[in-house]
Structure 1
Amino acid sequence: MSIPPTTKGHAPFGTHRTWYRVTGDLASGRTPLVLVHGGPGSTHDYLLRLAALAEDGRPVVHYDQLGNGGSTHLPHRGADFWTLGLFLDELDNLLNHLGIADDYVLFGQSWGGVLAAEHAAARPAGLRGLVLANSPASYPVWLEEMAVLRAALPADVQETLRRHEAAGTTGSAEYWQATLEFYGRHVCRLDPWPREVAASFMEIYNDPTVYHTMNGPTEFHVTGTLKDHSVIDRLPAVDVPTLLISGRHDEATARCVQPFFDHIPDVLWEVFEESSHMPHVEEPERFDAVMRGFLAGLDAA
Structure 2
Amino acid sequence: MCGRPTGPWFAVPADALGYYVVAFDQRGYGRTTGWDTSSFINTNLAQFALTNLVRDVVTLVYALGYRKVKCIVGHDFGAVTASMCALMRPDLFNSLVMMSHPFNAPDLLPFDIAHADTEAHAPTPPLHVHAELAKLDTPRKHYKWYNSTSAAARDWANPAQGLHVFLRGYLHLKLADWNWTAQELAKLPYYYIMPLHKSMPETIADMMSDQNIAATEAWMSDQDLAFYVQEWSRTGFQGGLNYYRIMTDPVRMTDLQLFAGKKIECPSIFVSDAKDWGNYQQPGAMEAHPESCSDFRRARFIQDAGHWPQQEQPRKVVDELVAFLSNL
Does the CA-based 8 Å contact 2:90-2:265 persist in structure 1? no
Residue identity (%): 15
Q: Does 1:288 align with 2:276?
A: no
Unaligned runs of 5+ in 2: 106-128, 178-214
Separation in 1 of the partners of 2:229 and 2:176? 12
Separation in 1 of the partners of 2:224 and 2:78? 16
Cα shift at 1:246: 1.2
Does the CA-based 8 Å contact 2:29-2:240 persist in structure 1? no
Does the CA-based 8 Å contact 2:75-2:99 persist in structure 1? yes
Which of 176-185 and 125-134 deviates more?
176-185
Q: Does 1:264 align with 2:283?
A: no
Which residue in 2 is equivalent to 1:116?
82
What is the CA deviation profile of residues 146-191 of structure 1, one whole-angstrom value per residue up to 9, with x for unaligned ones? x99xx9xxx9xx89x9xx9999573442487678656423257542
Partner SS, residue 59 of structure 1: coil
Cα shift at 1:295: 0.6
Does the CA-based 8 Å contact 1:82-1:213 persist in structure 2? yes
Greater strand proportion:
1
Does the CA-based 8 Å contact 2:100-2:271 persist in structure 1? yes
Separation in 1 of the partners of 2:289 and 2:238? 29
Partner SS, residue 95 of structure 2: strand
Q: Does 1:191 align with 2:216?
A: yes
Give the structure, 1 or 2, with the largest relative contact order (CA under 8 Å, sep 6 or more): 2
Does the CA-based 8 Å contact 2:100-2:307 persist in structure 1? yes
Which residue in 2 is equivalent to 1:85?
51
Does the CA-based 8 Å contact 1:123-1:238 persist in structure 2? no
Separation in 1 of the partners of 2:101 and 2:270? 9
Partner SS, residue 92 of structure 1: helix
The letter for the 2-side match of 1:271 is F
Which residue in 1 is equivalent to 2:155?
170
TM-score (norm 1): 0.64
Separation in 2 of the partners of 1:133 and 1:197? 22
2:246 counterpart (207, 225, 231): 225
Does the CA-based 8 Å contact 2:11-2:314 persist in structure 1? no
Which of 289-298 and 51-60 deviates more?
51-60
Which residue in 2 is equivalent to 1:252?
278
Separation in 2 of the partners of 1:103 and 1:214? 25
The letter for the 2-side match of 1:98 is L
Separation in 2 of the partners of 1:167 and 1:87? 22
Q: Pick closer, same or farther for the CA change 1:93–1:75 going to 2, 3 Å.
A: closer
Which residue in 1 is equivalent to 2:118?
none
Separation in 2 of the partners of 1:72 and 1:80? 16
Q: Pick closer, same or farther for the CA change 1:274–1:187 going to 2, 3 Å.
A: closer
Which residue in 1 is equivalent to 2:189?
none
Partner SS, residue 291 of structure 1: helix
Cα shift at 1:104: 2.6
Q: In the comparison of the two structures, how many residue pairs are matched? A: 236
Q: Does 1:214 align with 2:240?
A: no
Separation in 1 of the partners of 2:175 and 2:24? 21
Does the CA-based 8 Å contact 1:37-1:110 persist in structure 2? yes
Q: Pick closer, same or farther for the CA change 1:203–1:121 going to 2, 3 Å.
A: same
Partner SS, residue 300 of structure 2: strand
Separation in 1 of the partners of 2:32 and 2:309? 26
Cα shift at 1:206: 3.2
TM-score (norm 2): 0.59
Partner SS, residue 94 of structure 2: strand
Does the CA-based 8 Å contact 2:2-2:79 persist in structure 1? yes
1:62 counterpart (11, 14, 23): 23
Separation in 2 of the partners of 1:83 and 1:274? 34
Does the CA-based 8 Å contact 1:235-1:264 persist in structure 2? no
Separation in 2 of the partners of 1:94 and 1:240? 20
Partner SS, residue 253 of structure 1: helix
Q: Pick closer, same or farther for the CA change 1:201–1:271 going to 2, 3 Å.
A: farther
Partner SS, residue 301 of structure 2: strand
Separation in 2 of the partners of 1:138 and 1:251? 15
Which residue in 2 is equivalent to 1:16?
none
Separation in 2 of the partners of 1:239 and 1:202? 40
What is the CA deviation profile of residues 184-231 of structure 1, one whole-angstrom value per residue up to 9, with x for unaligned ones? 23257542152497345653453213122223xxxxxxxx22225688
Q: Pick closer, same or farther for the CA change 1:99–1:205 going to 2, 3 Å.
A: same
Which residue in 1 is equivalent to 2:37?
76
Separation in 2 of the partners of 1:200 and 1:131? 25
Does the CA-based 8 Å contact 1:187-1:278 persist in structure 2? yes
Q: Pick closer, same or farther for the CA change 1:103–1:81 going to 2, 3 Å.
A: closer
